[in-house]
Amino acid sequence: RTRTVVDIGSGGGLPAVPLALALPQVTFLLLEANARKCAFLEHLGGALALGNVTVIHGRAEELAHRAEHREHFDRAISRAAARPAVLLELALPFVKPGGELIAQVTSADPHPLQAAATRLGGGAPHLVRPIEGGSSLLVVPKIATTPAEFPRRVGVPNRRPLA
């Protein structure tokens, strides 16, 4: 049962805002590095009276090391925040064992991601294609605790991805 969700790189609020509207019993944390986008998300949350949404301005590489966020969430979601190999490192530290990462991707072969997922406490990555010819969902279950060294410093996951 999902009670807490973190949206990595929330941008304009997709998919978190529609999900928050549809699932008022679930608490959403929208994580965004761009201050203007955060201001928009705050405004949107207020305009829609979304009491189940909190917006945080910051970098996943830093916030994932804070005790109040680390392995706190049932699910991490993302839509085009980073390449799949980078997103694994940014998102899995937020997810508690037994949860999962669900990310929209345009294309990805999940097999090369297996070693990185394992290193980060994840299980076997797999793709779900809800619409033929459209985007896919990369799903990675969280099966173990993420080692304390992850995620690495800001910029390092993008420059030197684990996969």
> For the chain, how many structural domains are there in total?
1
Distance, C-alpha 73 to centroid of its chain: 10
CATH number for the domain that contains residue 81: 3.40.50.150
Q: Is residue 156 part of a domain?
A: no
Q: What pLDDT digit, counting tens, does each position of 10-68 carry?
A: 999 999 999 999 999 999 999 999 999 999 999 999 999 999 999 999 999 999 999 99
Q: Is residue 117 part of a domain?
A: yes
Q: Is residue 144 part of a domain?
A: no
Peptide bond into 151 cis (omega under 30): yes
Tell me what pLDDT residue 75 has. 99
Q: Is residue 43 part of a domain?
A: yes
Question: In degrees rounded to 5, what are phi and psi of residue 91?
Answer: -95, -40
As a whole-number percent, the residues of the chain with pLDDT over 90 amount to: 89
100 touches 139 (CB < 8 A): yes
Q: Is residue 25 part of a domain?
A: yes
Q: Which domain holds residue 44?
A: 4-99+106-136
Q: What is the distance between the alpha carbons of residues 37 and 47, in angstroms, rounded to a whole number?
A: 15
Q: Is residue 162 part of a domain?
A: no
pTM over 0.85: yes
Q: What pLDDT digit, counting tens, does each position of 105-159 carry?
A: 987 788 999 999 999 999 999 999 877 777 899 999 999 999 999 999 999 999 9
And the tokens for 76?
Answer: 């991490």
